[in-house]
Amino acid sequence: MTSASGLKLLLVIAPALLAYAFITYIEVRLPLPGKRAPPGSPWPQPRRWQSWPLQRSLDPDTFALSSAAAESCDVVAKALSRYRKLAFLGDSTRRGGGGGGGEERGFSAVVDHGLLPALRVEVAQYQGEQHCGYPQHKDDESYTLNIPEQGDAMLTSRTVWGALRGLETFSQLVHQDPVSKAYLVNVTVIDDIPRFAYRGLLLDSSRHFQPVKVLKQNLSAYSPRHVYSLKDVQDIIEYARLRGIRVIPEIDTPGHTQALGKAFPACYFNGTRGKPDYPNHAAFEMLNPMQDYTYDVMRDIFREIIETFKDKYIHLGMDEVYYSCWESSPEIAEFMQQQGFDAVNQVEQYYVKRTLANVQELGAKYMIWQDPIDNDVNAANDTLVGVWKDTSLDTKMGRWQDYIKPIARKGYQMVLSACWYLNYISYGQDWKKFYQCDPRGFDGTEAEKDLVVGGEACMWGEYVDGTNLIPRLWPRASAVAERLWSSADVNDTDDASFRLDQQRCRMLRRGIPTQPILNGYCGDYEWDLDTPYHID
C-alpha cells in the first residue's frame, strides 16, 4: 500500500499531525499552488474580512449565544439553539459529546488565550410576520461581526436573515486545536453583504423522486407512494424558512407536460390526435393553447401552488416548446387562421400572455426560462428570466454570453444557470469552472449587467435520486455559492481550494456526505469513520 508520498500513511497514523482539513497533490512532482488557508477560514468569503493572529478560546459548556430577538422570533430562537451545537462539532463532541463537563468534552483552557464568554446577536427588525415570516427576494442579508480581544463578540444585522448568515460565518470561524482539543477563534472583524440577491439551487423532483429527508438534508421507481403530500411540502417550506431559504416551485408548461397533456391533447400524427411522431414530438407532451379549459385548469393549479408556497415568485418554466406538436394539429391551424397568426411563435405568445395574466391576477410574480424570449415572444416587463443555454450543454447552442446580451437589451431582469449544471459530471476538479463563471461576465453596458440579479445552480434528475444527490451537489455547489456571494475579485481557484476543502470537512462533520475535491483527509472527521453528528 504505497503511494506517491510515503508521508501520507504516516499522517494517517500520527494523531499529533492531524489537521482540520488537509488536501494534498495528485503527484509529488506536482505541488499544489496557492496559499494554504488557516483553520477557521469562512466560505463563502465575506465582503470585508480582517483577522489577527491573536486567538480567543471558547468553553463549549459555558459559551452563551443570546439575542433579544429570540423572545419573539422563532427563526432567531431556533438558530441560536442550532448554532450553539454547530459551533462545537469537534472531535470530542462527535465521539461522545453533548452535555458533559469540560474535561469529558475535550475542552482545555489555553493560558495564552483570553476566554470568549459569549456572542450577542442584535437584530434591528424582528417582530411580526413582516420581519420574522418568510424570506423574500432582495431581503437585506447584511451583517457585521466583531470578535474583540476582550469581552463578548457582537453580531449585528438589520434583519433576521442577516443574523442567520452571520451565525453561519461565526460557526465556521470556530476551530479546534488538533492537540489540545481547545476551541479557538481568531480576533476578527467582518462586514458582509452578498453580491447577488438571488442565489439559487434547482432540484429536479420530477424525473426521480427525491426523499423528503434528502431534500431537508440538502437544505442543511415511481409509484403512488412517490408523491409529496401537502404536509411534506409544508414541512420542507418551514424547514427552509428557519434557515432563511426561499422555496420557489416550478410548474413547467406548456411543454414537459406528458401526464397533464393527456387532458389537453394538442399533438397529432397522420390526422389522429394523441399519437406520437418520434422524434419530432411525443403523444401528449404539450398543452393545447387554444382551449379556455387549459387556462381554467392551470389557473386552479397555480392558485393552489401560490396559496401553499409562501414565496412571492412562482417559476412557470416555458422552456423547450417544440413547435412540431402544435404544427401537427389541424385545430391549431384553424385557430391561427381565426386569430390572424402567420407564425407558430404567435401561438406561444398567446399562451405566455394568458398564463402570465392568470398568475398576475392571483397576486404572484413569475420567472420563466429564456426560450420564449429567444423565440421573439414578448413577456411582461417584470418577468424574471432564467438563462440556461450554453454550448457546454449542447454543441448546437451558442455561448451563454451570446444569449444573455439580447435579453438584457430588452430590459428583463435575469438569473444565470447556464454554466452551473451540476448534474453534468467530469473527472477532476470541475468545481473550478463553476467558480470562474461570473454572471456579469459578458459584453454589455453596466446597466445591462446590473439586470443580472443572481444565479442558480441546477441539478436535473435524469441520473440523480436520493442515493447520489447530496455527494454530487456538494461541495461543487459551494463553488457557485461563493461566486454569488463574494466580491467579483475573489476569484483565485488556487487559494480557494484550501478554503473549499475546509468547507467540505465542515459539511462532513455536520453529517453531510460531501465528495472530496482532491487528495487529502479531514482529520478525524472522515465520512463514516464514526456516526456523523447531524443537527436538525
Q: Which pLDDT belongs to residue 29?
A: 62
Q: Which pLDDT belongs to residue 161?
A: 97
Same fold, 40-192 and 248-382: no
How many CA atoms, within 13 angstroms, populate the side-chain half-sphere of residue 470? Answer: 20
Answer whether CATH 3.40.30.10 is correct for domain 248-382. no
Of 103, 320, 334, 361, the active-site residue reads: 320
Chain Cα centroid distance, residue 170: 20
Least confident of 3-7, 234-238, 454-458, 530-534: 3-7
- Which band of pLDDT confidence, cut at 50, 70 and 90, is reported for residue 223? very low
Confidence check: pLDDT of 35 > 90: no
Q: Which pLDDT belongs to residue 15?
A: 31
Q: Which pLDDT belongs to residue 225?
A: 56
**pLDDT averaged over every residue in the chain:** 87
Q: Which pLDDT belongs to residue 430?
A: 95
Q: How far apart are CA 164 and CA 489, in angstroms?
A: 25
What's the grid cell of residue 425? 459530471
| DSSP H helix total and E strand total for the chain | 20, 19
Domain ranges of the chain: 40-192, 248-382
Q: CA 516, 521, 524: angle at the middle one, nearest 5?
A: 120
What would the DSSP string read from start to end of 331-370? HHHHHHHHHT--STHHHHHHHHHHHHHHHHHTT-EEEEES
What percentage of the chain reaches a pLDDT higher than 90?
68
pTM: 0.86
Q: How far apart are CA 247 and CA 305, in angstroms?
A: 12
What would the DSSP string read from start to end of 377-393? PPPPTT-EEEE---TTT
Q: Rounded mean pLDDT of 42-54?
A: 96
Distances (CA, A) of 252 to 36, 206, 355: 45, 11, 11
Note whether 92 and 525 are within 8 A (CB): no
Cell numbers 470530542 correspond to: 92
Note whether 440 and 449 are within 8 A (CB): yes
Crossing angle for the helix pair 230-241 and 292-308, to the nearest 10 degrees: 50
Confidence check: pLDDT of 465 > 90: no
Q: Which pLDDT belongs to residue 6?
A: 34
The pLDDT tens digits for 120-176 are: 999 999 877 789 999 999 999 999 999 999 999 999 999 999 999 999 999 999 999
Note whether 411 and 382 are within 8 A (CB): no
Q: Which residues contact 371 (CB under 8 A, 6 or more apart)?
A: 318, 319, 320, 321
What percentage of the chain reaches a pLDDT higher than 70?
88
What's the grid cell of residue 521? 483527509
What is 40-192's CATH topology?
Chitobiase; domain 2 (3.30.379)
Q: Which pLDDT belongs to residue 28?
A: 63
The more confidently predicted of residues 349 and 26 is: 349
Q: Which pLDDT belongs to residue 206?
A: 75
Confidence check: pLDDT of 38 > 70: yes
Active-site residue, 331 included = no
Phi, psi (degrees; rounded to nearest 5) at 307: -70, -30
What's the grid cell of residue 78? 431556533
What would the DSSP string read from start to end of 163-232? HHHHHHHHHHH-EE-TTT--EEEEEEEEEE--S-SEEEEEE--SSS---HHHHHHHT----TTSS--HHH
The pLDDT tens digits for 84-122 are: 999 998 654 433 333 333 333 344 444 456 999 999 999
Q: Rounded mean pLDDT of 317-343?
A: 94
Distances (CA, A) of 302 to 240, 356, 360, 519: 21, 11, 10, 48
Q: Which pLDDT belongs to residue 211?
A: 79
Q: Which pLDDT belongs to residue 16?
A: 30
Q: Which pLDDT belongs to residue 207?
A: 74
The pLDDT tens digits for 300-329 are: 999 999 999 999 999 999 999 989 999 999
The pLDDT tens digits for 235-272 are: 999 999 999 999 999 999 999 888 787 887 888 888 88
Confidence check: pLDDT of 82 > 80: yes
Chain Cα centroid distance, residue 35: 27
Q: Which pLDDT belongs to residue 422?
A: 96
The pLDDT tens digits for 3-20 are: 333 333 333 333 333 345
